[in-house]
Amino acid sequence: MSGRTAPRGSIPGLLLAGGIGLWACASAAASGLGADQIEAARAAYQGLGSAAVEARPVAALPAGVEFQRIDVSDRMRSTSFGHTTTLLVPVPPADAGAAQQFWVEYGKSTNQPARLFGPFPIAAPR
């Protein structure tokens, strides 16, 4: 390192001092889904099958809702022909229960545009 530091009142200075950076990390961690909610959404998606997913196309996600993205893409040798598959699960407020539904996003592939499907229910964990 060069030994130089950013002024304490500047944005880089605050990030170096841990002010905004630590607050943003703690805020993001507190507002995310728990591991049990993520696994419940994955299990609900895996139980659907592609025909059930593709039978429910939607134009857009609900406005004003924060979503957590969960990558459930199939692992393959070449990503040039396949698409990414992402679950979009609404992050409920801290005082609310678990998320009740999710959407599925197929990313753009070589021969298809990006597509969105849903909503689909998340079964309560047993």
Distance in angstroms (rounded) separating the CA atoms of residues 126 and 123: 9
Residues 27 and 57 grouped into a single domain: no
Q: How far apart are CA 85 and CA 114, in angstroms?
A: 10
Q: Are residues 58 and 88 in the same domain?
A: yes
Instruction: Determine the Cα–Cα distance for residues 57 and 51; give it in Å rounded to an integer.
Output: 11
CA-CA distance, 33 to 87, in Å (whole number)? 12
Segments forming the whole domain that contains residue 112: 33-121
Q: In this structure, is residue 126 part of a structural domain?
A: no
d(CA 34, CA 98): 9
pLDDT digits (tens, 9 = 90+) for 116-125: 999 999 986 5
Residues 69 and 112 in one domain: yes
In a domain, 94, yes or no: yes
**Residues 31-60: pLDDT tens digits?**
588 899 999 999 999 999 999 999 999 999
Whether residue 90 lies inside any domain: the answer is: yes
For residue 112, is it within any domain? yes
Rama region for 123: left / alpha / beta (φ>0; ψ in -120 to 50; rest): beta
Helix-then-strand count for the chain, H and E? 4, 4
Tell whether omega for the bond before 7 is within 30 degrees of 0, i.e. cis.
no
Do 38 and 15 have their domain in common? no
Query: What confidence score (pLDDT) does residue 13 get?
Result: 43
- Tell me the percentage of the chain whose pLDDT exceeds 90: 48
One domain, residues 22 and 9: yes
Asked whether residue 19 falls in the same domain as residue 68, the answer is: no
Tell me which residue of 114, 52, 53 sits closest to 83, measured CA to CA.
114
Answer yes or no: do 41 and 69 share one domain: yes
Strand order in the sheet with 67-71: 67-71, 85-90, 101-106, 115-121
Q: How many domains does the chain have?
A: 2
Same-domain status, 68 and 107: yes
